[in-house]
Amino acid sequence: MSQSKRQLHLNVFLMNTGHHEASWRHQNTEPENITDIRYFQRIAQIAEKAKFDSLFLADGLAVSQNIKHGAFVGLEPFTLLSALAAVTEHIGLIGTVSTTYNEPFHVARKFASLDHISKGRAGWNIVTSGSSFEASNFSKDTHLEHSKRYERAKEFLEVTTSLWDSWEDEALIIDRESGTFADRSKVREINHVGDTFKVRGPLNIPRSPQGYPVLVQAGSSEDGKEFAAQYAEAIFTAQQTLVEAQQFYSDVKARLVKYGRSPEQLKILPGICPIIGRTESEAKEKEQQLNELTVPEYGLNQLSNMLGVDLHSYPLDGPLPELPSLSDINGNKSRFQLVVDLAGRENLTIRALLHRLAGGRGHRTFAGTPIQIADQLEEWFLHGGSDGFNVMPPYLPAGIEEFAEFVIPELQRRGLFRTEYSGSTLRGHLGLARPLNQYATVAVEGA
């Protein structure tokens, strides 16, 4: 497909009251409604009306130590996304689920259920968990070492895909006259025995509309990029500059070849936190107002966890202290490196760095007019930096309403984004093929 005919893929990244860490204090947010399903259903319907590819829901398995100042808690993904499926028809539904603190059978069954409920709109953001606090909620004294988490993730994915394939598409017969419900020869035990998991199968739910949910990955470390190149169909990533985005894009796309995959089989979607104003000065003023609502204690806690150093005793208007090496980090290695590079490149004080991270936790924040924001998206898209974006509204619901009302029409005017959905599944929105069943007696590729 020619460059001029490519279109952006856009997801809405749901985050309670919005992505800015002080959004819950903003006058246009509803922190009292973050457990009200009607609040999220309203946001989902706004996003679907704007023709977004999908809704993306992050998740964690521990409460921040600094819950006093932060609203980053939320409903469980399968429960929330199932409720959103009931009030939408087209938009994809991507949930984050950890391979470190779950079992493959549970995850395979729940995602197959979500795909059936939504009629083919489910996606799985595969994470290995980045917080050491999560381990203590699952009878573990320590967080599994970074590379070991990815080894577990690979076997976990092997088991879940085998379970999804344990039913062939034609397995259900439902012949009332003969009394035959299913063709037993097309429902198989997988009999997996590996280093970590031992699973017989089959799954206790028929193969879902998409075969597999769309497989998404959100790590940008070396292990993460290799995992994405081998398995993922979309990757959510964070870069601050077009040059960094281009380097990441070309690196990951080049890795696909050794796994027999083409560049079109993996969509690269950096995060962008857009702060929208009628004028550039209005947008900058909005950004400043949000930053003035931040509580330094909260940001320091977040940044300390990212960098592996307690920063509370260092002056806010001074530089970062000496930091550990990347090899010593057992959390999110790629985010550690991004933050270190950002602080060094722009010579940021700790306070300035806290403000730069407040909107997107390392994802790019851009304050400007709708045309300026569209210019930024178009530049990255057309110059080898992305296949689209994970849109991270700084505050909700107003942030997604502003993007839908002002930025989407500008992208559509430029021919960069759809005006109507052309398909009914998330795979269809992303231009991805339905996976072949590895056990099928006659493999037939689906639509």
User: What 3 state SS string does the chain have?
Assistant: CCHHHCCCEEEEEECCCCCCCCHHHCCCECHHHCCCHHHHHHHHHHHHHCCCCEEEECCCCCCCCCHHHCCCCCCCHHHHHHHHHCCCCCCEEEEEEECCCCCHHHHHHHHHHHHHHHCCCEEEEEECCCCHHHHHHCCCCCCCCHHHHHHHHHHHHHHHHHHHCCECCCCEEEECCCCEEECHHHECCCCEECCCCEECCCCCCCCECCECCEEEECCCCHHHHHHHHHHCCEEEECCCCHHHHHHHHHHHHHHHHHHCCCHHHCEEEEEEEEEECCCHHHHHHHHHHHHHCCCHHHHHHHHHHHHCCCCCCCCCCCCCCCCCCHHHCCCCHHHHHHHHHHHHHHCCCHHHHHHHHHCCECEEEEEECHHHHHHHHHHHHHCCCCCEEEECCCCCEHHHHHHHHHHHHHHHHCCCCCCCCCCCCHHHHHCCCCCCCCCCCCCCCCC
pLDDT band at residue 332 using 50, 70 and 90 as cut-offs = low
Quick count: other Cβ atoms within 10 Å of Cβ 326? 13
**pLDDT of the residue at 445:** 43
Q: What's the Cα-to-Cα distance from 42 to each of 87, 142, 313, 380, 403, rounded to whole Å?
A: 9, 40, 43, 30, 15
Q: Does the N-terminal peptide bond of residue 31 adopt cis geometry, omega within 30 degrees of 0?
A: no
Q: What does the pLDDT look like over 239-262, one tens digit per residue? A: 989 999 999 999 999 999 999 999
Q: Nearest to residue 161, comparing CAs of 233, 89, 90?
A: 233
Q: What does the pLDDT look like over 277-315, one tens digit per residue? A: 999 999 999 999 998 888 877 777 778 777 878 888 888
CA 201 to chain centre: 28
**pLDDT of the residue at 355:** 78
Average pLDDT on 120-127 reads 97
Residue bearing tokens 């290799």: 226
- Is the pLDDT confidence value at 172 over 50? yes
**pLDDT of the residue at 308:** 79
- Is the pLDDT confidence value at 344 over 80? no
Q: Is 102 exposed, middle or buried (0-12, 13-18, 19+ CB in 10 A)?
A: middle
Average pLDDT on 421-445 reads 86
pLDDT band at residue 333 using 50, 70 and 90 as cut-offs = low
Distance, CA of 172 to CA of 207 (rounded, Å): 10
Q: Nearest to residue 94, comparing CAs of 129, 126, 54, 37?
A: 54
**pLDDT of the residue at 447:** 39
Q: Which structure tokens are listed for 8?
A: 């952006």
Using a pLDDT cut of 90, give the percent of the chain over it. Answer: 66
Contact 233, 267 (CB under 8 A): yes
**pLDDT of the residue at 385:** 97
Q: What angle do CA 425, 435, 185 make, to 5 degrees?
A: 115
**pLDDT of the residue at 360:** 65
Which range has the worst mean pLDDT, 285-289, 325-329, 369-373, 381-385? 325-329
pLDDT band at residue 58 using 50, 70 and 90 as cut-offs = confident
Average pLDDT on 33-59 reads 96
Mean pLDDT of the chain: 90
**pLDDT of the residue at 331:** 62
Which range has the worst mean pLDDT, 168-182, 278-292, 333-347, 363-377? 333-347
**pLDDT of the residue at 433:** 96
Q: What does the pLDDT look like over 395-424, one tens digit per residue? A: 999 999 999 999 999 999 999 999 999 999
